[in-house]
Amino acid sequence: MRHIVVVGILVILVSFLTYFGLTALGLMPVQGSVQAGYVDQLWNWDLIPLCFLFSIIMVPLVYSLIVFRRRPGETGDGKYDEGNHTLEVTWTIVPLLLVTIYAYLGAYTLGKTRYADPNALVINVTAHQWDWSFQYPEGFSSNELHLPVGRQVLLEMTSLDVIHDFWVPQFRIKQDILPGRTTELRITPDRLGNYTVACSELCGLRHAYMTRPVMVTSLQDFSAWSAQQSKAYAALLAKGGPDAGKAIVAQEGCGGCHSIDGARMTGPTWLHLFMSQVPLSDGRTVIADKAYIIESIKDPNAKIVATFPANVMPHFDLTDQQIADIESYIETLK
């Protein structure tokens, strides 16, 4: 009985010390979003039974090693008890209750972090090896993620190649990004600051360097930045040419099917396309001149490239000027 009382007191003491010790270490980055508050709260709730479990295993173990160690001259087996119904029922019921409670707490937190604000600012995120692109409702794209403080953003994310993962540690939540699919993440930044978005899914050689700045600014600063970007984007489109074409291509998401590095995707690559010999599925060969490229954008089924299926490319609502800009961009990829 004396041993049980001593171990009991030690277990409680070590539980508290472990919990407060870990909490005092301050291992967490600052909370940068509303969602971070819920995640940290759940983490805190998880930590309490974890510290207790740690100590209820370690304290009796160490205590037994010291107090019940084999002394010189002892050769027999130690005393042991066989079967204890009270104990067995207890260690079945208590964990069952705990797991049920924590399942509820987990679901509750998931619901809170997924709360959808109908006024959320929608930003399209494109991930590829090994960089990020963020496209704003006004049409312009940026390699920096600028967010206004206090407003929920809905990130609509897709990948051009392999699986990536959007992760800003200060926002706590993260989400995989898959090719050919759109995944969502909702974040409500509630603290001004400069953070970094990192990729959290091993995606190749430069995975570790797939980072970009994230700036949470006041609404005024965000509006000013956004207006300036919009103006520059409008000027770029008005000027026309390859740069405008590149911007339109980014906006329309052409890169989801056409690579610019020679890789085979859903559609033919654009690398070295201009003025090249293109074998068609009907056995003919054509030269990929201006007229051919423009025709292929306007009417994708007019000429089908050999080994590629027909009826895959959707119709894009583009003006003749926009199509000419895209064509001039493709010319630069020869």
DSSP string, 178-199: -BTS-EEEEE-B-S-EEEEEEE
Using CB under 6 A, pick the residue from 14, 36, 199, 249 that binds ligand CUA: 199
Q: How far is the CB of 113 from ligand CUA (least distance, A)?
A: 22
Nearest-angstrom CA–CA distance, 17 and 9: 12
Nearest distance from residue 201's CB to ligand CUA, in Å?
5
Q: Which among 21-29, 186-194, 196-204, 279-287 is the span making contact with ligand CUA, rule CB under 6 A?
A: 196-204
For residues 133 and 143, the answer to whether their CB atoms sit within 8 Å is yes
Nearer to ligand CUA, 105 or 163 (CB): 163
Among 112, 207, 212, 303, binds ligand CUA (CB under 6 A): 207
Nearer to ligand CUA, 184 or 221 (CB): 184
Alpha helices in the chain (DSSP H): 2-24, 34-67, 85-113, 219-239, 242-252, 290-298, 320-331
Query: What CA–CA distances, in Å, run from 31 to 35, 173, 219, 294?
Result: 9, 11, 19, 50
Q: Looking at 88-96, 195-203, 277-285, 287-295, which segment touches ligand CUA (CB under 6 A)? A: 195-203
| Strand order, beta sheet including 121-128 | 141-142, 131-135, 121-128, 153-159, 183-187
Mark the segment that binds ligand CUA (CB under 6 A) among 112-120, 199-207, 271-279, 316-324: 199-207
**Total number of residues binding ligand CUA (CB under 6 A)?**
8
- Rounded to the nearest whole angstrom, what is the least distance from the CB of residue 144 to ligand CUA in the complex? 17
Which residue among 34, 210, 244, 288 contacts ligand CUA (CB under 6 A)? 210
Q: Do 157 and 284 touch, CB atoms closer than 8 A?
A: no
Phi-psi region of 77 (alpha: psi -120 to 50; beta: other; left: phi over 0): beta
User: Measured from the CB atom, is 211 or 332 closer to ligand CUA?
Assistant: 211
Q: Which of residues 20-49 bind ligand CUA (CB under 6 A)?
A: none
Phi and psi angles of residue 189, each rounded to the nearest 5 degrees, phi first: -65, 135
- Contact with ligand CUA (CB under 6 A): which of 146, 164, 172, 246? 164
Q: Which two tokens stand for residue 205?
A: 């050689």
CB of 200 to ligand CUA, least distance (A): 7
- Residue 185 as a binder of ligand CUA (CB under 6 A): the answer is no
Minimal distance in Å, beta carbon 162 to ligand CUA?
7
Nearest-angstrom CA–CA distance, 155 and 122: 6
Residues 116-135 that bind ligand CUA (CB under 6 A): 130
Please identify, using beta-carbon distances, which residue of 161 and 295 lies nearer to ligand CUA: 161
**By CB under 6 A, residue 303 contacts ligand CUA:** no
Query: In the complex, what is the shortest distance from the CB of residue 75 to ligand CUA, in angstroms, rounded to a whole number?
Result: 60
| Helix, strand, coil shares, percent, the chain, to 5 | 45, 20, 35
Beta bridge partners of 195: 214
Token pair 């699986």 is at which residue? 163
326 contributes a contact to ligand CUA by CB under 6 A = no
**Binding status of residue 201 toward ligand CUA by CB under 6 A:** yes
Q: Distance (Å, rounded) from C-alpha 260 to C-alpha 256?
A: 11
- Chain positions contacting ligand CUA, by CB under 6 A: 130, 164, 199, 201-203, 207, 210
